[in-house]
Amino acid sequence: MTNDGTARFSSDESLKGIIQYVETELELCRDMMLRMLETKDKSLVAEVSMLIWSANDSVATTLLLANTLRMRDLYVIARLVFETTVNACYLCVEGPDVAAKAFRHALQKTVRDMDRTSRIGDQLLSVGFNGAVELSDELKDALSEFTGRRNQELRHWTDVALRKRIEIVAARFGERVQTALHFPLIAIYRHSSDIIHGTLFGAAFSMNMTNPGSPPMAEDQMREFQLDHVRMVMLMVGWCLDALMMVCGEMFGLSDFGDRSHELSRQAVRSFVGGDERGGDGMGWVVNFQR
């Protein structure tokens, strides 16, 4: 321990600590979801709990990847956690009308999944359900809502951009939640996009070839590079769970989960990163945090 009461660890030790932090957050979030299902007011519970389950499932995958230092794929799954978290928080803020639209979007996609075609050049492939399907009025209305004027599928469930969704959530829940969502956006989103789409930049980034003056490294140097990024990404995963519990906890009368989660996050930053609150540079990252 240092004189200010914060701990300093090697990269391996701090990664273990951050993984334990995320494991604890995940268990807490699972408990919150179960408590949500017991609440008397069922408004939003079904839609939001489905998203929480999905986020938790992806968090479990990030733990597997982090333990084996699979940095490249970790960025991709962490983005799933992040976007699912933002959507769950956004539904909590916008309420039943927007949640109902998200449900109708999901409903019509289940119908479209039963008859899909793809054409490249002269080749036409199709995948379909080999049986009769009778469409209810509800399904027909959902299909119509997400069909454009040229009879094309409208693919997005909302026209509100991701950054705007975060802004809307932050306007309701304040800076703590905004910071917990804003940092993952800037730390994960851009690089995960290139990795997902298989770009040369995504490959170069994964090999530490995008930093100025960073030549190909020896095996031990590459491992340290991967450790640094895995630690950072897992911390962002933990903050996503923190945001999820702060927002959903307050919305469903379970604010103690948000309080416990936020304290876990504060302790993780102090113990395993070395910065104060969110915004330190304990992992070699220069962070400019302006209001």
For residue 160, the model assigns a pLDDT of 96
d(CA 169, CA 91) in angstroms, rounded, equals 9
d(CA 174, CA 52) in angstroms, rounded, equals 21
Clarify whether residues 141 and 165 are in a common domain: no
Clarify whether residues 23 and 59 are in a common domain: yes
d(CA 152, CA 157) in angstroms, rounded, equals 14
Clarify whether residues 119 and 172 are in a common domain: no
For residue 116, the model assigns a pLDDT of 87
Clarify whether residues 87 and 190 are in a common domain: yes
Select from 72, 89, 109, 84 the least CA-distant residue to 171. 89
Clarify whether residues 137 and 180 are in a common domain: no
Within a domain: 1: no
**Domain enclosing residue 111, as ranges:** 102-145
User: 5 — alpha (psi -120 to 50), left (phi > 0) or beta?
Assistant: left
Clarify whether residues 92 and 109 are in a common domain: no
Give, in degrees to the nearest 5, the angle at Cα 26 between 20 and 32.
140
Within a domain: 152: no
Clarify whether residues 59 and 190 are in a common domain: yes
Dihedral, CA atoms, 245, 172, 85, 181, nearest 10 degrees?
-100
d(CA 141, CA 125) in angstroms, rounded, equals 27
Clarify whether residues 106 and 93 are in a common domain: no
Clarify whether residues 92 and 108 are in a common domain: no
pLDDT 10s digit of each residue in the chain, 291 long? 344 444 444 678 889 999 999 999 999 999 999 999 998 778 899 999 999 999 999 999 999 999 999 999 999 999 999 999 999 999 999 999 999 999 999 999 988 888 888 999 999 999 888 777 788 889 899 999 999 999 888 899 999 999 999 999 999 999 999 999 999 999 999 999 999 999 999 999 999 888 777 666 788 888 888 999 999 999 999 999 999 999 999 999 999 999 999 999 999 988 887 654 444 433 444 444 443
Within a domain: 240: yes
For residue 282, the model assigns a pLDDT of 39
Within a domain: 284: no
